[in-house]
Amino acid sequence: MLEALSFFSNSLIASALLSVAVAIIGSLMLVNRYNYLAAAIAHGSYGGIGLAIYFGLPILLGATLFALILALVLAYITLKESRHDILISLLWAVGMSVGIIFVDLTPGYHTDLLAYLFGDILMVPSTDLIYMGAVDLLLVLFITLFYHHLLAIAYDREFAILRGVRVGFLHTTTLLMVALTIVMSIRSIGLILVIALFSVPPYIAEKFTSSFRSMMMLSGIIALGLFVLGLWIAYLFDISASASIILCAGALFLITYHKGRR
């Protein structure tokens, strides 16, 4: 048991750090209906990975810069363009295509690419944990400072504008935070699976809570539970940990689907 715990130590720390991000950003994504935008950032970020591999830069740096630029473009599009759905889909696909092309252009064979698409929480390096911790700190600071303004925007954007809330600034900052959160999850969960992980716990928590604070708390607890359960099942059956975690999330979603609906 101790041997297993030591093997899982980085994974468990990553799980705890990711749970904090799920609690804050997952909940904000859900109440603002940003899941499609987040999926576009997640998939589009592959462009940053491709560019980083081609230019020999650290993957985390390439993905971070690319995801942040993508988030800024998406923020602008969603604030200014009426037909933003088409542009979002386009950015999603263009980002991925950039990644694929630059990986193709890079000499040699890159076996670790699948790890960025589907992740492997068992292989999270310690440097990533520092990055995750730093992003978590930013998220906690962001939600603490702007809690009331973010809620006002989520409930009634027009009223928030009338009260002088900086809707454009907070919309953009939230998307930048989403971008950072996605990048911090790349190595653990992967670009393809990350949206499920960030959607399911807040969706379940939303139905069983009566305040946004408690929704965030419960989301974090559910996410941590899913990580631990998924890792345990992966250990028992020797299967992919990320996929196991996402399947646990899917199962929990189905179990609670009809519960607690308003």
Partner 1 sequence: MPSVAVDIRHLSFRYDEEYVLEDITAQIYDREYIAIIGPNGGGKSTLLKLILGLLRPTKGEILIYGQPPEKKRTIIGYLPQNINFNLDIPLTAKTIILQGRLSRNKLFYDPQDYEALESVAHKLKISHLLHTKISHLSGGERQKVLLARALVTEPKLLVLDEPTASVDLGAQKEIYAILKELDMTKIVVSHDINIILEGVDRVFYINRKLFIHDNIELKITPREGHFCEMELFEELKRSCDA
Residue ranges binding partner 1 (CB under 8 A): 31, 33, 145-149, 151-152, 154-156, 158-166, 206, 209-212, 214-215, 262
Burial label, 258 (beta-carbon count in 10 A; 0-12, 13-18, 19+): exposed
Q: Which two three-digit tokens encode residue 66?
A: 């690319």
Cβ proximity to partner 1, 41 vs 143, nearer residue: 143
Q: What minimum distance in Å lies between the beta carbon of 118 and partner 1?
A: 30
Closer Cβ to partner 1, 54 or 203, answer by number: 203
Yes or no: say if 187 and 52 are a contact pair by the CB < 8 Å rule.
no
164: left (phi over 0), alpha (psi -120 to 50) or beta: left
* Distance of closest approach, residue 216 Cβ to partner 1, in angstroms: 10
- Between 32 and 64, name the residue whose CB sits nearer to partner 1: 32
Q: Under a CB-based contact definition with an 8 Å cutoff, are residues 186 and 177 in contact?
A: no
Closest distance between partner 1 and the C-beta of residue 211, in Å?
Answer: 6
Q: Tokens in use for 224?
A: 């941590």
Q: By C-beta, is 152 or 186 nearer to partner 1?
A: 152
End-to-end CA, the chain: 43
Q: What is the CA radius of gyration of the chain?
A: 18
Distance of closest approach, residue 167 Cβ to partner 1, in angstroms: 11
Beta carbon of residue 262, minimum distance to partner 1 (angstroms, whole number): 4
Query: From the centroid of its chain, how far is CA 197?
Result: 7
Nearer to partner 1, 171 or 187 (CB): 171
Structure tokens at 143: 């939600």
Quote the least distance from Cβ 210 to partner 1, whole Å: 5
Residue written as token pair 């999270």: 124
CB-nearer residue toward partner 1: 24 or 91: 24
